Chains A and B, each alone.
Chain A
Amino acid sequence: MSLYYEDVNVGDELEPLPWTPTTDMAIDFFGRDNPTNPAFADAEAGKRMGVGGALVPGLLKVAWITRYVNQWAGPDALVSNLRIAYRRPDVADRELVLAGHVVDKRQEDGENIVELEVVTLADGQPSVRGNVQVKLPTKG
């Protein structure tokens, strides 16, 4: 279902979404035949990097955030910009919770722009923070 610009208010919250990334997801995301960081599949390699286990790829997390926002905004929206800060590494097989809220809305150059702050929580602490810009349709 489409979300319209008029229906969005600053302060609106996105429903939190739990997600547990696994090492299989990390490898399948890039394709099993494609070379990736060994720490994505191997907990020992992750530990050698100073991470507490197999590392969750940042690109997998940003893909997940993109999907999360697209799901909220609906099929007539365009996610036009994502700025992501990875504050600390996430370890595979540990639950993350995605959450977000609307921080701004404005009409600019004929576009209906909504800005969101999105966060990935690991044990309640932010591991990824993102600012996402979405262009929404209007009812008019």
Chain B
Amino acid sequence: MTEEDQSLITDEHRAMIGRRGQPKSVTVKEEDARRMRDVIGDTDPRWADGTGMAPPYVLAMLGGGRAPDMVRILPGGLLTQQEWKFTRAFRIGEELTGYSQTFDIRERLGGRYGHSVLVTTGTDYYDAEGNHVASAMMTITQFDPKRAERNE
């Protein structure tokens, strides 16, 4: 077995799978909603100035699904999969509570990035009444850029 074939995932990493992190409060900020909306030229009247509503993609500023204690095994990282779910629209100024967890950690040998590690995390967001508002899940492919260059 070569050095590249040996697993990079330890028992400590595996123990993180399924573990829920501490709840984290986040606020839907008007400046984020306005800035993001304007960057992509979104003229949807539902989240225009004065409506009190924020576009769904403001979720990216709430953490986007990345667990605060996401395991870091290799130095490079690219977002390779993403899932967003919405139960209702965001309201400007509302405070949400996010519960994050690591869903999966697995390895991949070969391919463009060489020996890579795929880490899937997610966050569920609830409002003050405990109602689900949105969820975000993401998979980051971690890789060693030096090895990736060799595989180009």
A-side residues, CB < 8 A to B, are 25, 28-31, 48-50, 55, 57-60, 62-64, 66-67, 70-71, 75, 78-86, 89
Contact = CB atoms under 8 A, between A and B. Distances in A.
Majority secondary structure, B binding face:
mixed
Contacts of A78: 86, 88-89
Interface residues of B, number: 37
Contacts of B126: none
Interface of B: 31-32, 35-36, 39-42, 44-46, 55-57, 60-61, 64, 76, 78-89, 112-113, 143, 145, 148-149, 152
A59 B76 contact: no
Contacts of B31: 31
Given A30-B61, A62-B84, A86 B39 contact: no
Contacts of A25: 39-40
Contacts of A83: 81-83
A66 B55 CA distance: 9
A41 to B, nearest CB: 14
Nearest to A81: B85
Contacts of A70: 42, 44, 56
A94 B57 CA distance: 22
Contact of A84 (B78, B83, B152): B83
Contacts of B113: 50
A71 B44 contact: yes
A31 B145 CA distance: 27
